[in-house]
Structure 1
Amino acid sequence: MYGGWAIGIALSLAASLFGTVGKVLMKLAHVHQGSFLLLALATFCVLILNPVFDAWSFAFAAQSVLAPMAGFSVVWNIVLAPYILKEKLSPQVLHGSLIILVGCAIVGLTGSHISPTHTPNELFSLFTTMRFIVYAIISIVLMLGLIWIISTYSTHSSWRRFAFGALSGLIGGNLFFTKTAVELMGKGSQVWECTETYFIIIFALGCPALGIYVLNLGLKEYDALHIVAIYESFLILCGSISGVIFFHEDQGMTAWWQQLLYPISIITTIAGVIVLSKTSGPNSPIGEKAPLMQSKKPVNLVTERV
């Protein structure tokens, strides 16, 4: 659908808003010793509203364009956290978030704006291409390495904190399952005669849920700012790269400036994560009651009458 990528972006932004609300409520529930109501609302936002709007967006736009939209979660985070969790913003949080937003914006501009449709057989065959098999092997090895870090490193290790966010993002970033499932559901009743359809739908539902489960485990031990930032960044990276690899969306990036700026935008996003990760030191509080945003020097917002 020509121009449909704009509709897809709007739906994806709504999905990221619901997802951020859910994550903030999840952290608030931990602060209030596991409030059932807060956990229920968080679950509804994260596992119902977020994936529904997210899946809907894939019917309109390419994965390489939609994946970076998850980065807008940092904007919703900045807007919601001070009011819901009563915490203060630090300059580094603002700077890191701005860098991430710039990276996400460039990815959205340079990504493929073409979202071709496929037949069911074409979709199934994408799982057997050599480039996807190599990607799958690398992803599995990385996940196993992150699980090993979580299992062996101490609670106060920054590597263990990083591993929680990275692992949840890598798992949840397998967005090609979601886009494939959305395409298959629009192909008619014949797709339900294929066993592959059911496996794809299971992974499309299971990967986001498992990613949020790992994220929730990390939120119980570490401050939400770092865990969520790392989660969102790996979600963006994995979603963008897997879209290019699985759906061959690099074919929609024919201009030289797209091929140049797309990897630069990914590096920019990582730089934003590094800035955010420096907002607390080794003596920063950890655990369920650690603040979402920490600051030695709070930002004073001054309103001036003209």
Structure 2
Amino acid sequence: MPAVSSFFQSNGDPALIRLTDCFSIQNYLLGILISICGNVLISFSLNIQKYAHVRQAQRGSKPYYTSGVWWCGVTLMGVGELGNFAAYGFAPASLIAPLGCVSVIASVVISVVFLKETVYTSDIVGGTLAITGTYLLVTFAPHTSTHITAHLVQYYFISWHFLLYLLIEIILFCILLYLYKRRNVKHIVVVMLLVALLASLTVISVKAVSGMITESIQGQLQLIYPIFYVMLVVMVASCGFQIKFLNQAMKMFDATEVVPINFVFFTASAIVAGIVFYQEFEGLALLNILMFLLGCLLSFLGIFLIARNRPKIKQQDGNFIEMNRIPGRTRTDKVQPEAKTPTYGSLAAKLMCSSAGQTDES
């Protein structure tokens, strides 16, 4: 779009300049609207799935995946993610990624209204900060988005600044993967940095694929170029490994830690990717850049405050024994044997033998 605008300006036709600016603003607002709607749908889907899990747990009869309510939530999740995907084709990636905080804000409101969860003061303060940050993001973000064509993606792909950026990312990823796999460093920052580095490639490829599909729908076929399929492979592969590491983080750490850190790291990587690959901040005024970064900071603080009081899922301690697993007992209390007594561990051993015998008999 900047190239088109400069062409019209060089020809000195004010009517064409106004037409181009109007078209750019329409695309910009459409991208924001699609992203917000997609994030709200994702919030609804998560709360619907949570409601389905709670209801199935109370009934205790059938698995959750047999519930129509759960499948409704999954369908909404797919529609919401599809909306986010489409939004990258209309608005800058550095704006669409931070708008993910809308999902967290909407999730809190929905859980309080429909699931009757407790609302805390930090939720109100965090929501206010996140909404203020979102307003600053929308107001001061780059208001123009380049038409993503196959030739443009190829040009960006072989540019020296992106190749340098990609080399740095590969080196950092190899170092972090070595620490995580070989040195067994299971710190949450290490895992989330792995996710963020992959997310950077995901944002670049998603915007490229979405933009080329959008151009094809509008009449300029882009799907015949090899770069489209290269970006499609990068998108699928980076998404797959990103989900893998994110699931590992969810297993090792609590969701109240993973969610805000992942949002901050993902947003930062998406903004950097948009700046380096798509040059989205080129020509943007210093005031706009500072206010945009302030909006990101307020959104980060808001998400941290909201996530801080979310219920934590505690991992069951291996030294605790559920009383309802003992034959003849119906209590759900937990007892922990004294480690200093000579019989410590004997009850657990008997229970393991008993449960193994029952499994063999069945």
TM-score by length of 2: 0.63
Paired position in structure 1 for 2:268: 237
Q: 1:193 to 1:2 in 2, by over 3 A?
A: closer
Separation in 2, partners of 1:285, 1:123:
43
Deviations 1:223-273 (A, max 9, x none): 4343222222323222222112211111252x2311322333333344445
Structure 1 distance, partners of 2:51, 2:85, is 27
Report if aligned partners of 2:104, 2:303 keep a CA contact under 8 Å in 1: no
* Cα distance, 1:199 vs structure 2: 1.7
Is 1:224 the counterpart of 2:255? The answer is: yes
The residue number in structure 2 matching 1:215 is 246
Q: Please state whether the residue corresponding to 1:78 is helix, strand or coil.
A: helix
* Alpha-carbon distance in structure 2 between the residues aligned to 1:87 and 1:238: 32
Kindly tell me: are residues 72 and 164 of structure 1, through their superposed partners in 2, closer, same or farther at Cα, counting changes over 3 Å?
farther
1:183 aligned to 2:206?
A: no
| Cα distance in structure 2, aligned partners of 1:49 and 1:105 | 25
Amino acid at match of 1:218: A
- Specify whether residues 44 and 139 from structure 1 end up closer, same or farther in structure 2 by C-alpha distance, changes over 3 A only: farther
1:10: which partner in 2?
33
Q: Distance in 1 between matches of 2:130 and 2:53?
A: 27
CA deviation after TM superposition for structure 1 residue 124, in Å: 1.2
User: 1:294: which partner in 2?
Assistant: none
For residue 198 of structure 1, report the CA deviation from its aligned partner.
Answer: 0.8
Identity of aligned residues (%): 18
Q: Could you say if the C-alpha distance between residues 221 and 286 of structure 1 is closer, same or farther in structure 2, counting changes exceeding 3 Å?
A: farther
Structure 1 residues 68, 285: CA separation in 2 closer, same or farther (over 3 Å shift)? closer
Separation in 2, partners of 1:218, 1:94: 28
| 1:257 partnered with 2:287 | yes
Which one-letter code corresponds to 1:54 in the other structure?
N
Change (3 A) 1:226 1:92: farther
Aligned pairs for 1:76-87 within 5 A: 76-82=106-112, 87=117
Q: Distance in 1 between matches of 2:142 and 2:120?
A: 35
Give the match for residue 292 of structure 1: none
Partner residue of 1:121 out of 130, 151, 170 = 151
In 2 relative to 1, CA 101–138 (structure 1 residues): closer, same or farther, beyond 3 Å?
Answer: farther
Specify which of 121, 126, 129 is matched with residue 96 of structure 1: 126
State the shift of 1:61 in Å.
1.8
Could you tell me how far apart the structure 1 residues matched to 2:136 and 2:96 are?
Answer: 12
Please state how far the C-alpha of 1:78 moved relative to its aligned partner. 0.8
Cα shift at 1:114:
0.6
Deviation (angstroms), 1:55: 2.4
Partner Cα distance (1:280, 1:147) in 2: 30
Partner of 1:295: none
Aligned-partner Cα distance in 1 for 2:52–2:170: 32
| Structure with greater Cα Rg | 2
**Greater length-normalized contact order (CA 8 Å, ≥ 6 residues apart):** 1
Partner of 1:304: none
Cα deviation 1:174-200 (Å, max 9, x = unaligned): 322112112222246864443322121
Cα 1:83–1:267 change in 2 (3 A) is closer
Structure 1: 5+ residue runs without aligned partners? Answer: 289-306
**C-alpha distance in structure 2 between counterparts of 1:219 and 1:29, whole Å:** 20
Closer, same or farther in 2 for the Cα pair 1:140/1:278, shift >3 Å? farther
Pairing partner for 1:49 from 67, 76, 79 = 79
Question: CA offsets, 1:188-228, max 9 Å, x none?
Answer: 68644433221211233444454344434434454434322
Moved more, 59-68 or 22-31: 22-31
* Whole-angstrom distance in 2 between the partners of 1:164 and 1:41: 31
Q: Distance in 2 between matches of 1:214 and 1:43?
A: 21
Decide whether the 8 Å contact of 1:112 with 1:252 is kept in 2: no
Aligned 8 A contact 1:82 1:89 in 2: yes
Q: Secondary structure at the match of 2:89?
A: coil
Structure 1 pair 164–2 and aligned structure 2 pair: CA distance change class (3 A): same
Secondary structure of the corresponding residue to residue 112 of structure 1: coil
Residue 299 of structure 1 corresponds to none
Aligned 1:134-173 pairs, distance under 5 A: 134-144=164-174, 147=177, 152-153=184-185, 159-160=187-188, 162-165=189-192, 167-173=194-200
Q: How far does residue 23 in structure 1 lie from its aligned partner after superposition?
A: 4.3
Change (3 A) 1:279 1:44: same
Cα drift, residue 144 of structure 1: 4.8
Query: Structure 1 residues 197, 280: CA separation in 2 closer, same or farther (over 3 Å shift)?
Result: closer
Is residue 85 of structure 2 the alignment partner of residue 60 of structure 1?
A: no
In the alignment, which residue of structure 2 is the partner of 1:248? 279
Q: 2:105·2:130 contact (CA, 8 Å) conserved in 1? A: no
User: Which stretch has the larger CA shift, 235-244 or 35-44?
Assistant: 35-44
- In structure 2, runs of 5+ residues without a counterpart are 1-22, 58-62, 317-362
